[in-house]
């Protein structure tokens, strides 16, 4: 039996139209809600309506298996569909954010509210480098906290 705790996933960016029906199927299989943690599972019609227009598809599940949407996330990565995922901390599992923008999956520790966390040891390691000037340290710190994968999601656009 898996532990179940709150998670959300936000899907956006350019999506080939040929993936529409499979995307809807994967969303339905995930059993997620479109309207926050307190709402019931989304219906197929509601998902189709949510995918119309210029928006980001927001899905929530207060009882996601280990805080993930495994099959949905796997489908999104296999087909280059961008997403942000956040799962809350529960028991011995820390909160985390996962980002995917078509190149690689980036997972970072996070607060319960979804703010990313960077280990202090990583910051101190950069700050105490003697062979790096201040400009180099600033670039290294920026690279540590800003990644192409964390740039804002764009609204869904089917092509």
97's enclosing H/E stretch is strand 96-100
- pLDDT, tens digit, 9 for 90 and up, residues 128-139: 999 999 999 999
159 residues of the chain, pLDDT tens digit each = 468 889 999 999 999 999 999 999 999 999 999 988 877 898 999 999 999 878 999 999 998 988 899 999 999 999 999 999 999 988 888 999 999 999 899 999 999 989 999 999 999 999 999 999 999 999 999 988 888 888 999 999 999
pTM (two decimals): 0.88
Question: 132-157: b or e for each residue (b if 16 or more CB lie within 10 Å)?
Answer: eeeeeeeebeeeeeebebeeebeebe
Domain locations along the chain: 4-116+151-158
Asked if 32 contacts 61 with a C-beta cutoff of 8 angstroms, the reply is yes
């Amino acid at each position: 039996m898996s532990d179940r705790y709150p998670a959300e996933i936000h899907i956006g960016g350019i999506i080939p139209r040929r993936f529409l029906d499979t995307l809807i199927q994967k969303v339905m299989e995930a059993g997620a809600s479109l309207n926050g943690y307190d709402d019931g599972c989304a219906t197929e019609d509601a998902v189709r309506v949510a995918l119309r227009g210029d928006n980001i598809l927001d899905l929530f599940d207060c009882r996601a298996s280990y805080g993930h949407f495994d099959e949905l996330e796997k489908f999104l990565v296999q087909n280059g569909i961008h997403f942000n995922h956040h799962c809350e901390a529960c028991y011995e599992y820390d909160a985390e954010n996962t980002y995917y923008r078509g190149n690689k999956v980036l997972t970072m520790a996070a607060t319960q509210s979804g703010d990313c966390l960077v280990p202090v040891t990583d910051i101190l390691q950069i700050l105490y480098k003697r062979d790096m000037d201040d400009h180099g340290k600033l670039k290294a710190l920026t690279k540590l906290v800003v990644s192409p994968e964390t740039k804002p999601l764009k609204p869904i656009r089917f092509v």
